[in-house]
A and B are shown apart, each in its own frame.
Chain A
Amino acid sequence: DIQMTQSPSTLSAFVGDRVTITCRASQTISSWLAWYQQKPGKAPKLLIYKASNLESGVPSRFSGSGSGTEFTLTISSLQPDDFATYYCQQYYSYHSFGQGTKLQIK
């Protein structure tokens, strides 16, 4: 099974900050990685697929990069609506998710 590890688990930041969340896979997954945003009481929302492709309708301040085993999600300038929990997911072999990163307002 492929294990996905996100860091940090919790991140505090100000509106306007640039933030980066890292996701590491226990083995290579090529670029078969997605990122999701989840707000309390809501279903996850797709942000990025195939490591760096922005889903339609997602603001351009979100970007993804990486391949192999190390990936990042960057938010270039945090907006109030961005405070949520973020998950990475590999789909190279079955599916598995990172444990999540809770982005909190500072």
Chain B
Amino acid sequence: EVQLVESGGGVVRPGGSLRLSCVASGFTFDDYGMSWVRQAPGKGLEWVSGINWNGGSTGYADSVKGRFTISRDNAKNSLYLQMNSLRAEDTAFYHCTRAGLGTGNYLGWFDPWGQGTLVTVSS
């Protein structure tokens, strides 16, 4: 069974940092691009960042560019999101998701999705 499990969320003060992790299982991790998508409570979906199969190509939403860094460790079947200079508007569930095309690029539809980890930025 293909599975994505996120961890690392929590409560952090504005300006603080947090590192999210996602462990993948049930598929060949380094065949796929991966992304982080977030959803503020009661709001819609927002793509945050994506990374290709070997980490050589990454992309970011304008809202997080320069503050967040995506990375992966294929030996550990793991995806990461380093979040710095956090703001109240970064409060959301953060979902790890796999790019559907299977070409190694992070462009594509998203399937499957992890259940998400909640990040709350509050003083």
On A, residues with C-beta under 8 Å from B are 1, 34, 36, 42-46, 49-50, 55, 87, 89, 91, 94-100
B-side contacts of A46, CB under 8 Å: 100, 109-112
Alpha-carbon distance between A100 and B59 when the two chains are bound, in angstroms: 23
B-side contacts of A43, CB under 8 Å: 95, 112-116
B-side contacts of A89, CB under 8 Å: 45, 109-110
Shortest distance between the CB of A75 and any CB in chain B (Å): 19
Say yes or no: A91-B45 contact (C-beta < 8 A), given A43-B114, A43-B115, A44-B113. Answer: no
Q: Are B45 and A49 in contact (CB under 8 A)?
A: no
B contacts with A: majority SS? strand
**Nearest A residue to B99, CB-CB:** A91
A contacts with B: majority SS? loop
CB contact between A34 and one of B35, B46, B59, B109 (< 8 Å): that residue: B109
Interface CB pairs A-B, < 8 A, 9 = A34-B109, A42-B115, A43-B113, A44-B110, A94-B47, A95-B35, A95-B107, A97-B45, A99-B44
Alpha-carbon distance between A49 and B110 when the two chains are bound, in angstroms: 9
Q: Is B108 among interface residues, defined by CB-CB distance under 8 A?
A: yes
Alpha-carbon distance between A91 and B109 when the two chains are bound, in angstroms: 7
Q: Are A95 and B50 in contact (CB under 8 A)?
A: yes
Q: Is B1 among interface residues, defined by CB-CB distance under 8 A?
A: no
Q: Mark B25-51, 1 if CB is under 8 A from A, else 0.
A: 000000000010100000011110010
Shortest distance between the CB of A16 and any CB in chain B (Å): 28
Q: Are B109 and A49 in contact (CB under 8 A)?
A: yes
Q: Are B110 and A34 in contact (CB under 8 A)?
A: yes
Alpha-carbon distance between A43 and B112 when the two chains are bound, in angstroms: 9
Q: Are B109 and A97 in contact (CB under 8 A)?
A: no
